[in-house]
Amino acid sequence: MITDIDEGETKQYNNYELESLVWYFLGLVHMDDFVHNDLNSNLDEPLENKLSGGQKTRLLLARALFRTHQRQSLMLILDEPDKGLPAETTVPIIENIINWYRPKGILFLTLYTEKAHTL
């Protein structure tokens, strides 16, 4: 599913830990239901032509969050991570990211969706 992360980036995790992290970050960006329902929970399923624009955005966001976690980054910069997402999806996802990252470091966030600016 996430094809540009090599083994060197995941060696510190056993298979169970790695899969748990992937599911955690998919849940943060509301992609876990899609993977469970449309991909039969298969994390190795090829995704070509199966994702909408918003789903691609959320998957890229999950990958960025995974890398932030894996590298123990003290700063996270997200420039319009909500672009292409419906407002009703954006607010809970951004709230999840803020709540997850708040104790870890500094978060710089610019938002595209006006409705999300209240966060």
Identify the pLDDT of residue 59.
92
Structural domains in the chain, CATH included, are 7-118 (3.40.50.300)
Identify the pLDDT of residue 4.
53
Identify the pLDDT of residue 74.
95
**Series of mean pLDDT values for 10-residue runs along the chain (119 residues):** 56 79 95 93 85 91 92 92 86 93 90 69
Give the Cβ contact number of residue 18 at 10 Å: 17
Identify the pLDDT of residue 116.
62
Q: Are 112 and 82 in contact (CB under 8 A)?
A: yes
Alpha-carbon distance of 16 to 20, in angstroms, equals 6
Give the Cβ contact number of residue 67 at 10 Å: 15
